[in-house]
Amino acid sequence: MFRLAHISDVHLGPLPDVSYRDLASKRMVGYINWQRNRRKHLHDGVIDTITADIKAAGVDHLAVTGDLVNLALDGEIELAKLWLETLGSPQDVSVVPGNHDAYVPGAFDKACRSWGPWMRGDDNTHTVNRDAFPYMRVRGPVALIGVTSARATAPFMANGFFRERQTARLGQRLQEAAGRKLFRVVMIHHPPIRDAVPQHKRLFGIGKFQRTIARHGADLVLHGHSHIPSLNWIPGADGRKVPVVGVAATGQAPDGKHPPAQYNLFEIGGGPGDWSIKLTRRGLTGLALPPSNLETIQLVESAQPELAAT
């Protein structure tokens, strides 16, 4: 049994000192949003509680699907690197960037340089950049395939992008993993599901992504961005359905408009042609600490998966 944990939308705080020059960009909008909203509901103490519970669970690997930072300031990117070092070694933690990690032009490249060890495929010993995605890492029976949807956008926009170049490379990664009879997990920040988020936050290229999965197959898709624990299904190869799973923001306190912090815990068993997946959501309930089981879902190929009480 392989145990995989999944978190997203960490939004580490507090913000470092910000200069007027830093705010002479889209960051002004994000800074106002942080001061008015996010800093009240996203807390480091909550993040620490969630990550401590993950470590206590003894997972085999941790997937982080983006938005480690808020405004992609240089100080934030460096802080996130230090946080990743406390979270786990690059061998045990895989990261894909989110839109906040690429908040302004140039930020994506800085994040890649700083967090590269956690975003480097097994076959890539070179500098991590946009052309390195999707990367693939093999851990036990599982292939973790990291896609980037992150790109700097205009103020008030938080869209993601999945274009032709990644489409071809993702197909190649999926085919390689299938040939090796591995359980294939695709990680992406923006949900590859229509109407999952408002239009100004949606992923451009949902059709390309879903057609790639339908053609080559996958076993599980993980995403963040919506700050909502969700479960959807998209067509896979040979008529199979592929679960697409979102998660609440890692630092979300119980008093916000979004569900309080959670993480997904997957138990992957079986083998090629007969994989089994059990998803347990662990998170905060009200002010109760530490996190508790919220629900357990036996993922099967059905639009209405059976819920098992915990």
Cβ atoms of 206 and 221 within 8 Å: the answer is no
From residue 87, alpha-carbon distances to 14, 92, 135, 147 in Å are: 18, 9, 20, 21
- What letter represents residue 187's amino acid? M
pLDDT tens sequence across 251-303: 888 877 788 999 999 999 999 988 999 999 999 876 556 788 888 988 865 43
pTM for this structure? 0.89
Structure confidence at residue 136 (pLDDT) = 97
Asked whether the predicted pLDDT for residue 15 surpasses 80, the reply is: no
Q: Give the CA angle between residues 97, 197, 94 to the nearest 5°.
A: 20
**What is the set of domains in the chain, with CATH numbers?**
6-261 (3.60.21.10)
Three-state SS at 254: coil
pLDDT tens sequence across 190-213: 999 999 999 999 999 999 999 999
pLDDT tens sequence across 27-36: 555 544 545 5
pLDDT category at 217 given cuts 50, 70, 90 is very high
Least confident interval from 36-40, 42-46, 103-107: 36-40
